[in-house]
Amino acid sequence: MTEQIPEAVFWCLAVGLFAVAVLLVRERGITARQRRRNAELGEGLRARDEELRHLVSARLPALEDAPHPQVPAVGLLDTRLADTEFAKCLDGVVERFAGAVEHARSSADQSAKAALKASMRSLQALANEQQVSISEMQDRHDNPGVLSDLLEIDHANAQFGRRAQVIAVLCGSWPGRQRATSALVEVVRGATSRIRDYRRIRINGEVDIAVRSRAVEPVVLAVAELLDNAARHSQPGTTVEVTVQTVHNGACVVIDDAGVGMDGQAAEHAAELLARTYDVDIVRLGDPPRFGFAVIGALTERYGFTVSVDTLSPYGGVRAVVFLPAALLTHLDAAVQEPVPPAERP
């Protein structure tokens, strides 16, 4: 009996040691899992901290500096946080901030347009008064020197009136002038007379097509902006070639310059302004502001013609094409009998 006691003690100790070993192994597993869990939590906290810094330093400023609302917003820094509640909360902050920015932009744009529209109306009235006075002086004087000076003043006043007219149209006003139905070539000549470098413009082509009364002034204004842009961005000694031609279902005015051309980004921006893919923010047109393509886009949208500047001219510059659909055109014989409609109102 006494011989079996040490054996029993041995087995008891063995079982105890085995149980302790199992507990130690289990404890080590639990500790390892806890460490991994703590590391994951720590990494998650660091990722959230980085995401918050990215929100403040990149995502929100990108929305504030975006030229228009259609610019894609900057996304998450860490894609592992996608579809989490934290990411949804951040997206909610971005949406609210974007709404606030858009509201502030809209308010500032409306205020600026209202102020500019009122100012440009006054300037247009003054330009019209000056035009009447200059015309009366041209009728009274027959001295060639005086008439030459008056023509220069008349030309400067036409440019001044066009600038005021462009800003007024971009602010939601109408061109302001109502003209009789005119031959397309005469419309192009009228546009030429409103730019500084009119002597560099060469007009080619004769067509028996006239522009209807309601579209004459808008087309004159759009072509004048294109001619002015072509002359300013080409060498002073070069000419700007203008070709007037009839095409299927309408007519075209093709303007070729020998300027520096446009890079891809500038051409894309011009195409967006001409197509009116988004509302133009007048306070974000550069410094100094560049109204040309923006006002042309506004005119094409209102009156139904199109303008494109995405083609290279034969002289290495830019080719601008103004397409006038048949609805805006008539034949010269019919234009003689067509009365002038009353002035348009907004």
What is the pLDDT, as a whole number, of residue 243? Answer: 94
Pairing between β-strand 182-183 and β-strand 209-211 as defined by DSSP bridges = antiparallel
Whats the size of the chain, residue-wise?
A: 346
What is the pLDDT, as a whole number, of residue 5? Answer: 63
Q: Pick 108 or 223 by higher pLDDT.
A: 223
- 51-101 pLDDT, tens digit each: 777 777 777 777 776 666 665 666 666 666 677 777 778 777 778 877 777
What is the pLDDT, as a whole number, of residue 34? Answer: 78
**Distinct helix (H) and strand (E) counts, the chain:** 9, 8
Specify whether the CB–CB gap between 147 and 138 falls below 8 A.
yes
Structure-token pair, residue 48: 């959230």
Specify whether the CB–CB gap between 187 and 150 falls below 8 A.
no
Angle at the Cα of 175 from the Cα atoms of 184 and 220, rounded to 5 degrees: 20
What is the pLDDT, as a whole number, of residue 344? Answer: 37
- 253-283 pLDDT, tens digit each: 999 998 888 887 888 888 888 887 667 767 6
pLDDT reading at 37 higher than 80: no
Q: Is the peptide bond before 288 cis (omega within 30 degrees of 0)?
A: yes
Q: Of 142-151, 158-167, 212-221, which one has max mean pLDDT?
A: 212-221
- 132-147 pLDDT, tens digit each: 888 888 888 888 888 8
Q: Which of 236, 141, 142, 244 is nearest to 190 (CA)?
A: 244
pLDDT reading at 339 higher than 60: no
CATH of domain 178-346: 3.30.565.10
Q: Where are the domains of the chain?
A: 4-82, 178-346
Separation of alpha carbons 213 and 193, rounded Å: 19
Three-class secondary structure of residue 194 per DSSP = coil
Going by pLDDT thresholds of 50, 70 and 90, the confidence category of residue 323 is very high
**pTM for the full model?**
0.71
Structure-token pair, residue 341: 């409609």
